[in-house]
Amino acid sequence: MLEHRALKRLDAAVPVRVSVDRTLRVKVIDACGMTCTFCHNEGTPVSADNRPGRPFTGTGPSGRTSLYLAGNGARFLSAPIHPDPAFAAALSQLRDALGFDEVHLTGGEPTLHPELPQLVRLARQAGYRVSVTSNGENGARALPTCAEAGLGHVNFSIFGTTPEELAQVQATRLRSPHLAARKIAALEKSLQVSLNMDLGTRANVVLPDADHIDRVRRLLERYSPQLSVRVLSSLADGEASLDAIDQLLEEVGAAPAEVRLIAGTSGFRIRYRLPDGRPLVVKHIRPLRLPDTCTGCRFNNSVDCEEGYYGVRLYRDTDGTFHVGVCIQRMDLCLPVEEFVTSDLCGEVRRIREQDHHDLTT
């Protein structure tokens, strides 16, 4: 369970905290104004470039990408989720089946959803804490009403301090200096709004490879004094991303301070302390697998399985059906909610959470 190089190198004196994964990721919208080259789009095709009933394509006029679409067996396009009884029922069913107590709203870009505050309020009424991941392009307009509805945290995906840096991780359309400058200005405004409202505000920075170290260092210098910064490894870049993270940590003199392992999910975090006392968090993926579902999977090896078992995701398709997924590389495993909650797969999710917690704490 601890077969990850970042964990193997840690001194035994570094404290370890173990919790249990109780977070449901919900893809509320597919639309997005960014074209990040490492985007997995939660496993589904880019809706703007595809149509129901036709073979799905991974390229199109939007310039956006969905990394695993070519081989993940996706069978539906995602559609916006609405704050209606069907969504409330799906949240209740999954809460009761798996004990979820937090909803993390994703996309696409959630703040482009015109009913995002109502979605937040409905999730709160269902007993969930609510967080959201955003690139900041519409946060200044959307976040105040979301905060009033009960939003607790915002994870901002941050890509650059200048248009040139933003262009490094964007497809052609966003390499326009003027457009890139507007995106950065919108992010800055959204960050300030979030901080002013005392929302839990964090910055996520993806480090694909060593060519991006200088860009990430400038982001750290710009943002870590005012909010928590998390460096994420790039799933698509594998060892090159991990090597770059190691190099970055060495260059900035980061010392490990705490490990946070989350039983029942492949994602884990290591908190470092910079020489001036500021914290820096690195988020990694450990090789956690569903014991039955993953055993015969063609991706079940140390090279091809890039995310492992990360947790449960909820989608709504263009026909209005809610689907539950357990792997963005195997979207063919998705099941309708009513079928999932009574399935062996749901029971397997419960069991791996319990077994993983036992293993990590003993």
Domains of the chain, start order = 5-361 (3.20.20.70)
Q: How far apart are CA 298 and CA 164, in angstroms?
A: 39
Confirm if 166 and 174 have CB atoms less than 8 A apart. Answer: yes
Query: Which letter does DSSP use for residue 18 in this model?
Result: E
Tell me which residues of the chain have a pLDDT lower than 70: 1-2, 173-174
66 CB contacts (<8 Å, ≥6 apart)? 39, 40, 41, 43, 44, 45, 46, 58
Alpha-carbon torsion, ordered 287, 291, 296, 302, to 10 deg: 10
pLDDT at 59: 80
CB-based burial of residue 198 (10 Å sphere; 0-12 exposed, 13-18 middle, 19+ buried)? exposed
CA distance 290 to 344: 12
Q: How high is the pLDDT of residue 67?
A: 92
What is the per-residue pLDDT for 167?
Answer: 85
pLDDT at 2: 58
**Residue 199 near residue 156 (C-beta atoms within 8 A):** no
Q: What local confidence, expressed as pLDDT, does residue 215 receive?
A: 87
Q: Is the dihedral of CA 208, 233, 130, 91 positive or negative?
A: positive
Length of the chain: 362
Token pair for residue 182?
Answer: 């507007």
Angle between the N-to-C axes of helices 116-125 and 139-149, in degrees from 0 to 180, rounded to the nearest 10: 20
Query: In the prediction, which pLDDT does 64 show?
Result: 93
- With contact defined as beta carbons under 8 Å apart, do 227 and 195 qualify? yes
Alpha-carbon span 317 to 298, nearest angstrom = 26
Q: Which residues neighbour 303 within 8 Å (Cβ) at sequence distance 6 or greater?
A: 238
